[in-house]
């Protein structure tokens, strides 16, 4: 039984190392201007006990101020044709929520952080343009 525990710990350590390598490869591809579809990678990087459905970025059918920020961003991206730069997402969020009291710089900073997080988490795809700007895209 002790040998099985040791083997399991070694396999879990290997799994973490491989996941880290896959993430590094994904970042390198994007860094060189490539585009990734994260569907297969998303399944590989599933956290134990988490189904692919739980990792999807759900696009709501209608916009509401009560939606979580991630869903607001997803809705804004859908309204933009499924992809857009942070500045376009911010502009769409302002249009959808005109009573929002957050200043422009803070909204842009928060949206940048959240879209970056969603990308790193495998819930948004990204492509770098010629000006080194990130164009975020919903994963179908």
Domain positions in the chain are 2-138
pLDDT tens digit sequence for 15-29:
777 776 776 676 666
pLDDT reported for residue 45: 54
Q: Which of 25, 44, 21 is nearest to 34 (CA)?
A: 25
Across the chain, mean pLDDT equals: 80
Burial class (CB in 10 A: 0-12, 13-18, 19+), 89: buried
User: In the structure, what pLDDT confidence band is assigned to residue 3 with cuts at 50, 70 and 90?
Assistant: confident
What is the SS3 assignment for 21? helix
Dist CA 96 CA 100 (whole Å): 9
> Which has more confidence, 34 or 65?
65
Distances 127 to 52, 69, 120 between C-alpha atoms, Å: 22, 22, 13
Asked whether the predicted pLDDT for residue 38 surpasses 60, the reply is no
Q: Please, are residues 88 and 101 in contact by the beta-carbon 8 Å criterion?
A: no
How far is C-alpha 12 from the chain's CA centre?
A: 25
Q: Which of 104, 106, 134 is nearest to 120 (CA)?
A: 134
Asked whether the predicted pLDDT for residue 12 surpasses 90, the reply is no
pLDDT reported for residue 55: 58
Q: Please, are residues 46 and 52 in contact by the beta-carbon 8 Å criterion?
A: yes
Q: Which of 65, 24, 63, 19 is nearest to 43 (CA)?
A: 19
pLDDT tens digit sequence for 56-109:
677 888 888 888 899 899 999 999 999 999 999 999 999 999 988 888 899 999
């Amino acid at each position: 039984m002790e040998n099985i525990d040791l083997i399991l710990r070694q396999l879990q350590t290997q799994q973490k190392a491989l996941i880290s390598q896959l993430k590094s490869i994904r970042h390198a591809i994007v860094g060189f201007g490539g585009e990734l579809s994260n569907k297969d990678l998303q399944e590989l990087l599933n956290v134990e006990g988490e189904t692919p459905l739980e990792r999807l970025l759900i696009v709501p059918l209608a916009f509401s101020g009560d939606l979580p920020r991630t869903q607001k961003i997803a809705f804004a991206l859908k309204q933009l044709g499924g992809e857009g730069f942070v500045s376009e997402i911010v502009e769409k969020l302002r249009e959808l929520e005109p009573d929002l009291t957050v200043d422009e710089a803070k909204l842009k900073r928060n949206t940048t952080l959240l879209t970056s997080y969603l990308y790193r988490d495998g819930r948004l795809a990204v492509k770098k343009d010629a000006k080194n700007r990130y164009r975020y895209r919903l994963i179908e």
